[in-house]
Amino acid sequence: MRRKDLILTAVLLFMIGITAGTLIALYTINEELAPLAEVRTTEITRSEQPFISDEDLERADARFLFRKVAEEVTPTVVYIETIVPIEGTMPNDEYHEFEENEESIWDRIIPRRARTVGSGVLITKDGYILTNYHVIEGAVEKGLRVVLNDKREYQAKVVGYDPSTDLAVIKINGSDLPYVTVGDSESIDVGEWVLAIGNPFRLRSTVTAGIVSALSRDVQIIDDQMRIESFIQTDAAINKGNSGGALVNTSGQLIGINTAIASQSGSYQGYGFAVPSNLAIKVARDLIEYGEVRRALLGVSIAGVDYNRAIEKGMETVRGVEIMSVSPEGAASEAGVETGDVVLQVNGVNVNEANELQQQVAVLSPGEIVELKILRNGRELQKNVTLKMLEPREIPEVAASEESLEMQEIPEDREGVMYREFDLGFRVMGIAKPEDADTYDIYVDRVYKYTEAWNRGLREDQQIIKIGEEKVEDLSRLEELMRRNLNDNGSVVLEIRNEENVKGFIELKRN
């Protein structure tokens, strides 16, 4: 009996051990039971020096140079597929895939979903990926799938995002992954060769070449009150699906995150835009370390100096950014910056547009000291400003103008011409048709800067043809459809025609 008891006891202990081990294993791999990830140090590789000198580049054959860069960088660019819920009418564009089956009873019980596609760039060997916010916006739980260039697939998690720069960081669990070297976007010049790498129209790992067409572009495409736009413009072909992909120089260094195209057709027409790498990496570091962007605040409102203003201020050349107002107890105020000062340089970098100054401040962190070279009453001064932190309730530096601060009076109606103003930031003018005095051609008469209408791309002299699918030929009908769509959907879609007789669609959302 004793021998039998010993055997039974040993078997029982063995079974208990197996059970305990299984429970521990399940606990450590179940994301819901163990949501906390191991904290590890991660590093982003940066380089301010080109891998290949200018002299070597001049001697190199571009064909072999581009091939080498493509071989080095393509493995670091990933394909991102995002599952998002469909609410209301399904969008009709290249970003989405839908089942075309007739609606079933299950569609009423289980919400329908769409797949959006985009690109991202691996910036660390342990799986941090930099991409655009609009690529992963609205993703459902466990709705992010990342495919590497070698076809390995991973589920990804959102680390953080920043709508004001349209950037986001996601994370996959991996080690010794290929990652990009980040270059200095301040060192690039107009005319330099660049390559854009991404996944346009679901075509994986596509490489296109072009040049830097312009710097510091503000094209009013980011839909955020605190937006920062100082894009690199390139003529390298960028299409839908390239968003979040890499813009690299001829040394294979990341100098931008491809974000948008300027197109009337929705496809490439010669103009693409990328967030500069210096700004993108600052945002990425903050998101990885803090889960949010710690934005430095100068505490001023600003506007670029134009020719007339330069003459008024007695300036010999048109340059700099004027301080329109200074926040009391703000960083600039405490450093002695005054209204009317013209900022010529930020940390030794010339600034001639409001968005250029914004970018120079945006790459810095609260607590850092920024050196401003300013012009005051004909004399150049230097002010050292200790930057403060932007709190959610505070208003950041934005290009100011009188028309952006207050609406103008609505002109009086007269025979055959009527006006209406909408709180989304625009005014329309209805002109009676000669053949029928009761119907009108409706044109955008005024768009106020930095409002919803302005940020979405509505401009003066565009003709409003339809609201959704309904034609509008009088102002009362326009008002009715605007009100109904905003109340029912929170947004309204305008079909417009510009002066070149090209049609397009602009969606305006209620603030």
C-alpha dihedral, 360 to 365 to 367 to 373, nearest 10° = -10
* Residues 246, 178: Cα–Cα separation, whole Å: 14
User: Are the beta carbons of 457 and 451 closer than 8 angstroms?
Assistant: no
Instruction: Report the alpha-carbon distance of residue 48 to residue 256 in Å, rounded.
Output: 14
Question: What is d(CA 115, CA 119) in angstroms, rounded to the nearest whole number?
Answer: 13
Is 243 an active-site residue?
Answer: yes
Q: What is the pLDDT of residue 36?
A: 35
pTM of the model: 0.63
| Burial state string for 310-319 with b = 16 or more CB within 10 A and e = fewer than 16 | beebebeeeb
Measure the CA dihedral 315/318/323/324, to 10°.
100
| Torsion angle, alpha carbons of 375, 377, 379, 382, to 10 | -40
pLDDT in the model for residue 430: 87
- Tell me the domain boundaries of the chain: 43-293, 296-400, 406-509
User: Do 213 and 191 touch, CB atoms closer than 8 A?
Assistant: no
Which of the residues 119, 185, 213, 243 is marked catalytic? Answer: 243
Burial label for 408, CB within 10 Å (0-12, 13-18, 19+), is exposed
CATH architecture, domain defined by 43-293: Beta Barrel (2.40)
In SS3 terms, 482-493 reads as HHHHHHHHCEEE
pLDDT computed for residue 178 by the predictor: 92
Q: Return the CATH class of domain 406-509.
A: mainly beta
Among the listed residues 134, 162, 230, 277, the single catalytic one is 134
Q: Rounded CA gap, 24 and 130, in Å? A: 34
Question: In the chain, count of helices (H) and strands (E)?
Answer: 12, 29
Which residues pair with residue 206 across a beta bridge? 198
The CATH superfamily assigned to 296-400 is PDZ domain (2.30.42.10)
Q: What is the pLDDT of residue 155?
A: 92
Q: How would you write 396-459 as a 3-class SS string?
A: CCCECCHHHHCCCCCCCCECCEEEEEECCCEEEEEEEECCEEEEEEEEEEEECCCCHHHHHCCC
CB 431 within 8 A of CB 447: no
The rounded average pLDDT for each run of 10 residues, N- to C-terminus, in the chain (511 residues) is 63 67 51 38 61 58 76 90 67 42 48 78 91 87 88 90 89 90 88 87 78 82 70 82 85 86 53 87 90 85 83 86 84 87 89 86 87 89 87 47 48 76 87 81 83 80 88 87 85 83 79 61
Q: What is the largest CA-CA distance in the chain?
A: 114
Active site residue 134: yes
Domain 296-400 identical in fold to domain 406-509: yes
Residue 205 and residue 78 in contact, taking contact as beta carbons nearer than 8 Å: no
pLDDT of res. 281: 92
Residue of 162, 166, 235, 286 marked active site: 166
d(CA 196, CA 209): 6
pLDDT recorded at residue 42: 61
Measured distance CA(330)–CA(309) in Å, rounded: 26
Phi and psi at 215, nearest 5°, equal: -125, 160
Q: Is 235 an annotated catalytic residue?
A: no
